[in-house]
């Protein structure tokens, strides 16, 4: 018998937490001057430091520290007055020194929170810490059937990614979200991503791995007051997957608990294909990381004046921006929820800022563009249509250059080609036919071709004009303005008001 989600919630209270890794968008790596550019030829962005050559020593990237403080401040954290890097010791071939230089018990930012909104309800997610560390290299597994680590004959290592600044953002366990746990988890990552993007500290591209999530999930029997054993699900690399991972772990753990079994504290991996989680390495992994303070680096002790300077220079954050947008756009709370759920609040705001009226902007983003995003299974923000494009379309419709139908064709063309609106309009010759003599000729032809309909209109049945309008539109291949065509026909047939 398979449990339903409702069954789970009837008996268990979910608690989740997230550890999010963000690659900063600095020019150079965390501890050396190698470039962080994505997609370079293997092992071309490496040096003695990030290769862990004997004798090499790290030097901290100032911008990475500043960016981390920005993130901490944006997440309402306190900035530690004094903290150190530590070495986390374990052997793995993608880690050149066989220790990771990371902050351990002295993170740079602590005790913050992030408020997220799901269907108009606010949830406060506690932030335990934001700390600095370095990314690892990348292993490719060769041989075996799947190219996966299991069954591989050998592996190949590229250290270009090794040493890229990595920021880990750890939430406190989040209880009390009930049925909405999966959505709140997703909303948190969405909100975090928006903040990071607004701060300009990362390109936050989950598909390229610059934003990666580990999701912790546990269940406790309703009313028990005790938290259950948690699992850590790794490899959760899209917003949708965050939601699916929490949900599937809730179902899996509930089945175990219902059967009187224990949930094992373990690392699991999320499968994008199946949508469920699988156990990680079965072998008991050594977890004694033998942390100690990194003796090659000196403590970080941000001057409070510097922190305040960074705080003062923070851009307007998404939450404040949304509040301001709601105010200035004058949209209803209901619209705001709708826009928020569709992930288009900022897009609407930016479209308005680019000159479009609020209603037009909202209708485009909630309507045709959301439809396209859903078809393509991407977020509206990643669709590939910029707010500026939308504002331009609205303007072209308003000045009569395009009909709404033509504007939609323009969107399709933008999605196909990646060109901007003006370019696709020019390339495809998208232009409403506004030459009245041409329209009048078409109207005369339509009247001649359908005398019955013409008579009905002349007889006062104005609705019958629809058939004639359709004929004109067809003859002009949709490039005419339907309203203008209707007016011309009514004028000719004298049936108008």
Q: Where in 157-216 is the site for other proteins (CB under 8 A)?
A: 157-159
Contact (CB, 8 A) for 108 and 80? yes
Nearest approach in angstroms of CB 261 to other proteins is 24
Interacting residue with other proteins among 179, 251, 256, 297 (CB under 8 A):
297
Q: According to the binding rule CB under 8 A, does residue 32 interact with other proteins?
A: yes
Q: How many amino acids of this chain bind other proteins (CB under 8 A)?
A: 73
Identity of the residue, 51 or 319, whose beta carbon is nearer to other proteins in the bound complex: 51
Q: According to the binding rule CB under 8 A, does residue 141 interact with other proteins?
A: yes
Interacting residue with other proteins among 70, 97, 212, 456 (CB under 8 A):
97
Nearest approach in angstroms of CB 292 to other proteins is 6
Nearest approach in angstroms of CB 24 to other proteins is 9
Q: According to the binding rule CB under 8 A, does residue 309 interact with other proteins?
A: no
Identity of the residue, 280 or 470, whose beta carbon is nearer to other proteins in the bound complex: 280
Identity of the residue, 35 or 76, whose beta carbon is nearer to other proteins in the bound complex: 35
Q: According to the binding rule CB under 8 A, does residue 333 interact with other proteins?
A: no
- 3-state secondary structure (DSSP) of residue 49: coil
Q: How far is C-alpha 307 from the chain's CA centre?
A: 28
Which of the residues 373 through 402 are near other proteins (CB under 8 A)?
A: none
Q: According to the binding rule CB under 8 A, does residue 38 interact with other proteins?
A: no
Identity of the residue, 59 or 314, whose beta carbon is nearer to other proteins in the bound complex: 59
Q: What's the burial of 428, exposed, middle or buried (CB within 10 Å: 0-12/13-18/19+)?
A: middle
Identity of the residue, 80 or 242, whose beta carbon is nearer to other proteins in the bound complex: 80
Q: According to the binding rule CB under 8 A, does residue 47 interact with other proteins?
A: yes
Contact (CB, 8 A) for 170 and 71? no
Interacting residue with other proteins among 1, 226, 283, 463 (CB under 8 A):
283
**What's the distance, Cα to Cα, between the start and end of the chain in Å?**
68
Q: According to the binding rule CB under 8 A, does residue 89 interact with other proteins?
A: yes
- 3-state secondary structure (DSSP) of residue 125: strand
Q: What is the largest CA-CA distance in the chain?
A: 97
Distance CA 190, CA 238 (A): 10
Nearest approach in angstroms of CB 32 to other proteins is 8
Distance CA 120, CA 46 (A): 48
Which range touches other proteins (CB under 8 A), out of 92-100, 127-135, 200-208, 474-482?
A: 92-100
Nearest residue to 90 (alpha-carbon basis) of 111, 104, 108: 104
Identity of the residue, 145 or 333, whose beta carbon is nearer to other proteins in the bound complex: 145
Q: According to the binding rule CB under 8 A, does residue 150 interact with other proteins?
A: yes
Q: According to the binding rule CB under 8 A, does residue 282 interact with other proteins?
A: yes
What secondary structure, in 3-state letters, does 390-453 show?
HHHHHHHHHCCCCCHHHHHHHHHHHHHHCCCHHHHHHHHCCCCECCHHHHHHHHHHHHHHCHHH
Q: According to the binding rule CB under 8 A, does residue 304 interact with other proteins?
A: no
Contacts for 328 with CB less than 8 Å, ≥ 6 apart: none
Binding flags for other proteins, 103-122, as an x/- string (CB under 8 A): --------------------
Interacting residue with other proteins among 39, 295, 429, 494 (CB under 8 A):
295
Distance CA 237, CA 209 (A): 7
Nearest approach in angstroms of CB 253 to other proteins is 24
Sign of CA dihedral 42, 48, 53, 58: negative
Contact (CB, 8 A) for 190 and 248? no
Residue 316: DSSP 8-state: P
**Could you tell me the CA-to-CA distances from 27 to 4, 136, 165 in Å, in that order?**
48, 17, 10
Binding flags for other proteins, 50-79, as an x/- string (CB under 8 A): -xxxxxxxxxxxxxxx--------------
Nearest approach in angstroms of CB 90 to other proteins is 9
Contact (CB, 8 A) for 249 and 233? yes
Identity of the residue, 298 or 398, whose beta carbon is nearer to other proteins in the bound complex: 298
């Amino acid at each position: 018998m398979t449990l339903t989600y409702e069954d789970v919630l009837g008996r268990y209270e979910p608690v989740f937490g997230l550890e999010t890794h963000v690659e900063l968008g600095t020019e150079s790596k965390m501890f050396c001057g190698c470039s962080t550019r994505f997609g370079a030829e293997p092992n071309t962005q490496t040096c003695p430091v990030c290769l862990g050559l004997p004798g090499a020593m790290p030097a901290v990237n100032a911008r990475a520290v500043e960016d981390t403080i920005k993130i901490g401040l944006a997440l309402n954290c306190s900035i530690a007055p004094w903290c150190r890097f530590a070495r986390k010791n374990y052997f793995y071939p993608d880690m050149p020194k066989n220790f990771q230089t990371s902050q351990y018990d002295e993170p740079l930012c602590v005790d913050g929170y992030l408020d997220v909104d799901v269907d108009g309800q606010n949830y406060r997610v506690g932030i335990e810490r934001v700390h600095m560390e370095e990314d690892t290299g990348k292993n490719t597994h060769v041989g075996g059937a799947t190219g996966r680590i299991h069954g591989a004959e050998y592996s190949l290592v590229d250290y270009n990614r090794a040493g890229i600044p990595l920021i880990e953002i750890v939430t406190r366990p989040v209880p009390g979200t009930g049925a909405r746990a999966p959505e709140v988890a997703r909303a948190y990552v969405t909100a975090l991503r928006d903040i990071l993007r607004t701060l300009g500290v990362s390109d936050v591209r989950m598909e390229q791995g610059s934003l990666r999530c580990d999701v912790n999930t546990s269940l406790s029997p309703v009313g028990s007051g005790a938290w259950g054993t948690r699992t850590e699900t790794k490899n959760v690399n899209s917003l949708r997957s965050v939601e699916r991972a929490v949900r599937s772990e809730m179902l899996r753990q509930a089945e175990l608990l219902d059967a009187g079994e224990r949930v094992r504290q373990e690392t699991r991996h999320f499968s994008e294909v199946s949508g469920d989680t699988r156990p990680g390495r079965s072998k008991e992994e050594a977890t004694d990381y033998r942390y100690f303070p990194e003796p090659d680096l000196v403590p970080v002790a941000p001057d409070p004046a510097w922190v305040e300077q960074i705080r003062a220079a923070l851009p307007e954050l998404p939450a404040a921006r949304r509040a301001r947008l709601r105010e200035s756009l004058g949209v209803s709370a209901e619209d705001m929820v709708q826009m928020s759920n569709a992930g288009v609040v900022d897009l609407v705001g930016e479209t308005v800022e680019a000159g479009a009226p609020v209603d037009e902007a909202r209708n485009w983003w909630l309507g045709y563009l959301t439809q396209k995003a859903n078809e393509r299974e991407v977020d509206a923000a990643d669709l590939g249509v910029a707010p500026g494009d939308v504002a331009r379309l609205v303007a072209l419709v308003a000045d009569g250059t395009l009909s709404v139908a033509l504007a939609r064709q323009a969107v399709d063309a933008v999605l196909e080609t990646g060109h901007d609106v003006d370019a696709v309009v020019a390339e495809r010759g998208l232009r409403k036919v506004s030459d009245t003599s041409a329209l009048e000729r078409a109207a005369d032809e339509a009247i001649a071709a359908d005398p019955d309909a013409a008579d009905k209109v002349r007889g006062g049945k104005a609705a019958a004009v629809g058939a004639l309008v359709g004929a004109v539109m067809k003859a002009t291949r949709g490039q005419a303005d339907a309203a203008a065509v209707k007016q011309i026909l009514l004028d000719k047939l004298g049936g108008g008001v």
